[in-house]
Chain A
Amino acid sequence: MNDILQGFIEAARLIASLDRELVEIVMLSLRVTLSAVLIASIIGLPLGAWLVVNRFRYRRATIAVMNALMGLPPVVVGLFVYLLLSRSGPFGVLGLLFTPTAMIIAQVLIITPLIASISHQTIRDLWAEYHDLLISLNATRRQRIAALLWDGRRALLTAMLAGFGRAIGEVGAIMIVGGNIDHSTRVLTTAIALETGKGNFAVAMGLGIILIALAVGVNLLIHTLSRTERASIW
Chain B
Amino acid sequence: MVGSILPLTLRGACAKFRGKMIVGPVDLTISTSGFTVVMGPNGSGKTTLLRLMHGLQRVAVGVVKWNQPETIARSRQAYVFQQPIMMRRYVVDCIAYPLLLHGVDKKQARDEATEWAIRVGLGHALKRPAPVLSGGEKQKLSLARALIRKPEILFLDEPCANLDGRAMREIETLLQQAQADGTRIVMATHYMGQACRLATDVVFMYGGKVHECGPATAFFDGPQTEKAAAFIKGDIVE
Contact = CB atoms under 8 A, between A and B. Distances in A.
A130 B101 contact: no
A70 B139 CA distance: 42
Query: At the interface, is chain B mostly helix, strand, loop or mixed?
Result: mixed
B132 to A, nearest CB: 6
B79 A130 contact: no
A132 interface: yes
A231 interface: yes
A181 interface: no
A138 interface: yes
A136 B78 contact: yes
A151 B88 CA distance: 6
A135 B152 CA distance: 17
A60 to B, nearest CB: 19
Given A136-B54, A137-B101, A138-B101, A231 B89 contact: no
B81 A231 contact: no
A234 to B, nearest CB: 5
Given A129-B85, A132-B81, A138-B75, A233 B54 contact: no
Contacts of A231: 129
A132 B56 CA distance: 7
Interface string B86-125: 0111000000011001000000000000000000000000
B81 A133 contact: yes
Given A233-B129, A234-B131, A139 B101 contact: yes
Given A129-B85, A130-B85, A132-B56, A138 B129 contact: no
Nearest to A152: B88
Interface string B39-76: 00000000000000011100000000000000000110
A137 B85 contact: no
Interface residues of B, number: 18
Interface residues of A, number: 16
A139 B87 CA distance: 14
Contacts of A133: 81, 85, 87
B89 A151 contact: yes
A137 B88 contact: no
Contacts of A130: 85, 87
A75 interface: no
Contacts of B78: 136
Contacts of A136: 54, 56, 78-79, 81
A132 B54 CA distance: 11
B129 A234 contact: yes
A147 interface: yes
B69 to A, nearest CB: 13
Nearest to B130: A233
Nearest to A233: B131
A141 B56 CA distance: 15
Nearest to B131: A233
A137 B87 contact: no
Contact of A132 (B85, B87, B101, B129): B85
Most-contacted residue by chain A among B54, B74, B88, B132 (CB, 10 A): B88
B8 to A, nearest CB: 16
A226 interface: no
Contacts of B87: 130, 133, 147, 151
Interface string B127-139: 0010110000000
Interface string A205-234: 000000000000000000000000001011
Nearest to B142: A133
A139 B98 CA distance: 9
Contacts of B85: 129-130, 132-133
A234 B81 contact: no
Interface string A124-154: 0000011011011111000100010001100
B78 to A, nearest CB: 7
Interface in B152-183: none
B95 to A, nearest CB: 12
8 contacts: A130-B85, A132-B56, A136-B54, A137-B101, A138-B75, A139-B101, A147-B87, A231-B129
CB-CB nearest 3 A-B residue pairs: A133-B85, A151-B88, A136-B79
